Amino acid sequence: MSGNYLPHTPLSRWIDNFLSVIGKTLAFIWLILLTVIVVNVISRHVFSQGYIELEELQWHLYSIGFIFGLSYAYQSDAHIRVDVVHENLSDSIKAWIELYGTLLFLIPFITLILVFSLQFVSSSWTLDEVSSAPGGLPFRYLIKAVLPIGFLLLLLAALSRLSRIFQFLFFSSSKEDIDACE
């Protein structure tokens, strides 16, 4: 795990625990998704009967798992890095890179998604949007609402990580202080 050198703060502990509960609870969505896929395949290939509802439910479940999984992956430091370069850097350099990357790239990206996704969901809500497919799922705004909720959770994960980075870079005076925080 790449972020082990970062000391926890009270804020990061609270956010990380919250995101862990959400991430571990939503891990079951993949089992539900698998079940829906199997039922859909069996109904199509064995009974020659396809259901638009099941197909749409598949992408709804996948969307929920993926979008909510972003915050859990970032919080648990399971996201992809260029580890070949990253592992050879000092903890201090890693923290500075993560600080600038988070402030210059991640936070602005999250902000953009939040700003535009709120209008996206609002329009869907106003129109009481439903699937355009015959027999498709109603309440399209509910699945669209996953986007801003998921990115709010990712913002929380970024704030947690920022609090840990700031603690490491600006408030930890020694390795013993860092060890005591973990």
Contact 85, 105 (CB under 8 A): no
Would you say residue 182 has pLDDT above 50?
no
| 107, 158, 170 from 155: Cα distances, Å | 7, 5, 22
Alpha-carbon gap, residue 132 to 56, rounded angstroms: 11
| 31, 71, 72, 140 from 130: Cα distances, Å | 26, 28, 30, 5
User: 50 falls in which pLDDT band (50, 70, 90)?
Assistant: confident
Domain residue extents for the chain? 9-79+89-175
Report pLDDT for 77.
77
Contact 11, 159 (CB under 8 A): yes
Higher pLDDT, 168 or 52: 168
* Most confident segment among 86-95, 129-138, 160-169: 160-169
Alpha-carbon gap, residue 141 to 117, rounded angstroms: 11
Alpha-carbon gap, residue 143 to 151, rounded angstroms: 14
Alpha-carbon gap, residue 145 to 84, rounded angstroms: 37
- Give percent of the chain with pLDDT exceeding 90: 46
**Tokens for 61?**
């479940």
